[in-house]
Structure 1
Amino acid sequence: MRTIQAAALTDAVAKLCIQANTHLPEDIVAALDATRQGEPWPLAKETLGLLWENMELAEEKNLPVCQDTGMACVFVELGQDVHIEGNFEEAIHQGVRKGYGEGFLRKSIVGDPLRRVNTEDNTPAAITVRLVPGDGCKVTVAPKGFGSENMSRLGMLKPADGVEGVKKFVVETVKLAGSNPCPPIVLGIGIGGSFDKVAYLAKHALLRPIDQRNPDPFYADLERELLREINALGIGPQGFGGQTTCLGLSIETAPTHVAGLPVAVNVSCHVTRRATAEL
């Protein structure tokens, strides 16, 4: 049994909160670079150039790449042979509190969904824990702004809707979102499971680098097909038109009931943020 001090978890989460908000992942940077060079529509190309400049300045000056520094979504893969010495959840909340304070990041969390009083430290975090074999602890912080989160959708389709129904739902989600989520966007798509599980699948899919296809060839082909259809919509960067509406998308699936076909689409903007550390 390996012991990890809660304080070490707090420090890791604090650093990841700052890193995720100021430095985009390599796969997102590469996709933005490729699209800004390949986009043929002049206004879209200019817009992508401005987004690229914003990203470079954020990294150079260690400033947030987006003014909405998001809800801190913390994903933990916790080894079953690990013991956390101290309060596990409070250690994560304290890490968010510390990171958003030391990083001078905008605090956006309200303690009650209807009474709307800001907690003033961006806590509590949204914590998801998965137990895995071994004695490691992998922590990923993925801040999620709500300009894009609000455009996400979940549908309980019928099995008879099949793959065409899933494609229609995903493309319709992007159409309805339009320019609201600050495209170009990134999509996490969940298929299967239950009402609650499919939403998790969609959010978790955003953690996979967009240059890595689903290991199942059937779903890898579906990812490519959906990406082509979405970029053919012509919404373009910030809604100004062009062929760059979506930088990439990832699909995650789970077994489901014979009578169901849950589908969820988690929409993220071009500043899809995530940072990972292993303790």
Structure 2
Amino acid sequence: MRTIKTEEITEVVSQLCKEAAYYLPEDVYEALKKGRETEESPVGRDVLDQIIKNAEIAKAEDRPYCQDTGLTIVFVEVGQDVHIEGGLLEDAINAGVAKGYVEGYLRKSVVAEPLFNRVNTQNNTPAVIYTSLVEGDKIHITVAPKGFGSENKSGLEMLVPADGVEGVKAAVMRIIKHADCNPCPPTVIGIGIGGTMDKAAYMSKKALLHRCDEHNPDPQYAKLEQELFEMINKTGIGPQLGGTTTTLAVHVEWGATHIAGLPVAVTICCHACRHASRTI
């Protein structure tokens, strides 16, 4: 049994909040440059030039890549041979988020209650935390701030098995076309298929953590990813003002579901597909 103190968890989360806000993952940056090379619209190329330059400035100057530094989503894999000492894991993570957002001068965007009062918590807590128990004696933490320009355009459809593959494609495209240019494309698309309504949404969020140049290990789902990638890029939505680079990548995660169900969740992420990870 290995002991990890909550203070260490808090410090790691604090650093990851700043890193995720400042530094666009290298694979996303390379996907933007690749999109710039293949973009057919002159206006689209100009928009991509500005997006790429923005990423370079943010990295060089330790400044937020986007003014919306998001609602902080934290994925935590806890080894079953770890003992956490000093308090609750959730409290340690939220303390890290608060520390990172205050010290990093990141915009605080969280309201404590969603409908009637909507008072800002002033430190971007509480985070949305997903915890899973895994083998080993380590804790792996991924911080993924999610901006709401794209989150607001994400969606879910509860299909039936008879809808099949074509029904899934149609559902995804309905959500994409409804979103249009509002999620700040070029986007990264995470899709969750199966499970329950909530599990499908969770899988679609987790899918955004895959590298842009990574494909599903199952050839059937890899084919679906490629087909959707091509369909989305043919919509003409393009990078903000029209073009052929609407999405940088499409990732699918899937899971077991009920014999009567076929949930499909689509999480749209803007070109600020930010996340940073560390293992303690």
TM-score bin (small chain): over 0.9
Q: Which amino acid aligns with 2:194?
A: G
Match of 2:120 among 118, 121, 127: 118
Please give the residue correspondences for 1:80-95 in structure 2 after superposition, counting only pairs within 5 Å. 80-86=80-86, 87-95=88-96
Could you tell me how far 1:272 is from its partner in structure 2? 0.3
Could you say which residue in structure 2 is the equivalent of 1:75? 75
Match of 1:222 among 224, 238, 249: 224
Match of 2:197 among 189, 195, 198: 195
Instruction: Give aligned-pair identity as a percent.
Output: 55
TM-score by length of 1: 0.99
Could you tell me how far 1:227 is from its partner in structure 2? 0.1
Could you say which residue in structure 1 is the equivalent of 2:9? 9
Could you tell me how far 1:196 is from its partner in structure 2? 1.1
Please give the residue correspondences for 1:180-259 in structure 2 after superposition, counting only pairs within 5 Å. 180-238=182-240, 240-259=241-260
Consecutive unaligned residues of structure 2, counting only runs of 5 or more, are none
Could you say which residue in structure 1 is the equivalent of 2:28? 28
The structure 1 segments of at least 4 consecutive aligned residues displaced by more than 4 Å after TM superposition are none
Q: Which amino acid aligns with 1:186?
A: V
> Whole-Å Cα distance in 2 between the matches of residues 136 and 209 of structure 1?
23
> Whole-Å Cα distance in 1 between the matches of residues 128 and 93 of structure 2?
10
SS state of the match for residue 228, structure 2? helix
> Whole-Å Cα distance in 1 between the matches of residues 30 and 133 of structure 2?
32
Superposed CA RMSD in Å reads 0.6
Q: Which amino acid aligns with 2:9?
A: L
Q: Which amino acid aligns with 2:185?
A: P
SS state of the match for residue 237, structure 1? coil
Match of 1:149 among 143, 151, 154: 151
> Whole-Å Cα distance in 1 between the matches of residues 121 and 190 of structure 2?
28
Could you tell me how far 1:210 is from its partner in structure 2? 1.7
Q: Deviations over 1:36-56 (max 9, x none)?
A: 122121000001001111111
> Whole-Å Cα distance in 2 between the matches of residues 84 and 257 of structure 1?
36
> Whole-Å Cα distance in 2 between the matches of residues 38 and 61 of structure 1?
29
Could you say which residue in structure 2 is the equivalent of 1:170? 172
> Whole-Å Cα distance in 2 between the matches of residues 159 and 219 of structure 1?
16
Could you tell me how far 1:105 is from its partner in structure 2? 0.1
Number of matched pairs: 278
> Whole-Å Cα distance in 1 between the matches of residues 102 and 124 of structure 2?
9
TM-score by length of 2: 0.98
Consecutive unaligned residues of structure 1, counting only runs of 5 or more, are none
Could you tell me how far 1:206 is from its partner in structure 2? 0.6
Could you say which residue in structure 1 is the equivalent of 2:268? 267
